[in-house]
Amino acid sequence: MRIALLTGGGDCPGLNAVIYAAVKKGINHYGDEFIGFLNGWKGVLDNNFIPLTLEAIDGIQLKGGTILHSSRTNVKKIPGGIEKVQQVLKANKIDALIALGGDDTQSVTLYLCENGINAVGVPKTIDNDISGTDQTFGFDTAVMIATEAVDRIHTTADSHNRVIVVEVMGRDAGWIAYASGVAGGAHVVLVPEKEIDIDRVCKLLKYNYDHGKHYGVVVVAEGAHLPEVGQVINEAAAKDSFGHVRLSGIGEALANLIEKKTGYETRSVNLGHTQRGGVPTAFDRLLGQRYGLHAIDMVHEGKWGRIAVLRGTDIADIPIKDAITTNRRLDQRFFDVIASLEAKV
Ligand code: F6P
């Protein structure tokens, strides 16, 4: 078969591992040929691609980012977009498409499948919030980076008797905040699933100061909601083509509120895209390769409109529509972990 791959949406450590495994198995075991469209769906619309040979993918499973580059391009919104995609795939004699991306990218994959294109999906996001899969690749790397940052914040906050708020990624779900906050021993962990109770945050921090610990570490997800404010948005930034606002700044807003309400000197740090950069962990390289191997098998089994998922320790697949209808968010079990480790206030 002649197969095309692409990566859409925010990049994620482990994307290259997926590409590596799908292409390697496809060439060696199925006799396939591959091309990679550059810059996500934009590359398909622009007919911009590179050949993906064994030489081209050699060693890429160790690297972060995506050798195919990425963009947030919504084909559904572009007049004539679907026709253009059909035309480009036909001109390049593409039998099947493997799309690596989160819910936005996969909403396009599904739309194309509904319009007669043979495509399968691989779930990607450091946010770990895709329904139907127990873990997306990239999450483990992001948690490792965020946890290391939280660890480091403890010593500087302690030295200066300060509160420091660490803002991590997590637009709709607080998986990174939960994992790095608990692993990094934060005193307060705040997630998008629960509105922030600022008085309780201050009480938790005061507990530290009243019990001989003159500093505090707060981890907050970028998508957490402040009462009366909601999510903190970068108003100057335009919405992306899927209609998403750019989140940023809750850490700073929260730090200002904490300082005002408690009188403790407070700082904030936003980890931002650091969490998406650099080499994937061993776990993400392995998970990415397992997803890639499953994706190429899905293609040869004609499982169009389906997406690879991790179920427990097994890789399986489900309809794309089941993966993108809702976000997978933290539930009571995780709130209980956070609450059980907090001071009793
Ligand atoms: O990939 C998801 C994500 O990391 C979100 O947590 C974050 O809001 C968004 O991407 C940032 O995207 P961009 O790279 O376009 O600023």
**Residue 165 scores a pLDDT above 90:** yes
Please compute the mean of the pLDDT values over residues 88-114 and round it to a whole number.
97
Ligand 1 nearest-atom number relative to CA 72: 15
Name the band, by pLDDT with cuts 50, 70 and 90, for residue 167.
very high
pLDDT mean across residues, the chain: 97
* Residue 113 · residue 96 · CB < 8 Å: no
CA 280 – CA 140 distance, rounded (Å): 8
Query: pLDDT tens, 236-283?
Result: 899 999 999 999 999 999 999 999 999 999 999 999 999 999 999 999
| 311 CA to centre of ligand 1 in angstroms | 25
CB under 6 Å to ligand 1: residues?
A: 10, 125-127, 169-171, 222, 247, 276
| 276 CA to centre of ligand 1 in angstroms | 9
Name the band, by pLDDT with cuts 50, 70 and 90, for residue 228.
confident
Axis-axis angle for helices 175-183, 332-341 (nearest 10): 30
Partners of 311 in the β-ladder:
314
Q: CA distances (Å), 31 to each of 61, 159, 181, 308, in order? A: 21, 60, 46, 22
Please compute the mean of the pLDDT values over residues 108-116 and round it to a whole number.
95
Residue 208 pLDDT: 96
Burial 145-160 (b: 16+ CB within 10 A, else e): bbbebbeebbeebeee
**Residue 105 scores a pLDDT above 90:** yes
Residue 235 pLDDT: 86
Please compute the mean of the pLDDT values over residues 119-144 and round it to a whole number.
98
CA 47 – CA 171 distance, rounded (Å): 32
Burial 264-282 (b: 16+ CB within 10 A, else e): bebbbbbbeeebbeeebbe
Please compute the mean of the pLDDT values over residues 38-54 and round it to a whole number.
98
Residue 236 pLDDT: 87
| 231 CA to centre of ligand 1 in angstroms | 14
Edge-to-edge strand order for the sheet containing 314-319? 49-51, 33-37, 2-7, 96-101, 119-123, 306-311, 314-319
Residues 6 or more apart whose Cβ sits within 8 Å of residue 131:
322, 323, 324, 325, 326, 327, 328
Among residues of the chain, what percentage have pLDDT more than 90?
A: 98
Partners of 98 in the β-ladder:
5, 120
Least confident piece of the model among 2-11, 232-241, 286-295: 232-241
Axis-axis angle for helices 139-160, 175-183 (nearest 10): 50
Residue 126 pLDDT: 98
pTM above 0.85, yes or no: yes
**Residue 100 scores a pLDDT above 90:** yes
Element (H, E) at 307: strand 306-311
Please compute the mean of the pLDDT values over residues 11-39 and round it to a whole number.
98
- Residues acting as catalytic residues: 127
Residue 314 pLDDT: 98
Strands (E), 8-140: 33-37, 49-51, 96-101, 119-123
Residue 156 pLDDT: 98
Among residues of the chain, what percentage have pLDDT more than 70?
A: 100
Residues 6 or more apart whose Cβ sits within 8 Å of residue 201:
188, 190, 218, 254, 258
* Residue 187 · residue 343 · CB < 8 Å: yes
Please compute the mean of the pLDDT values over residues 89-103 and round it to a whole number.
97
Ligand 1 nearest-atom number relative to CA 170: 6
Query: pLDDT tens, 58-87?
Result: 999 999 999 999 999 999 999 999 999 999
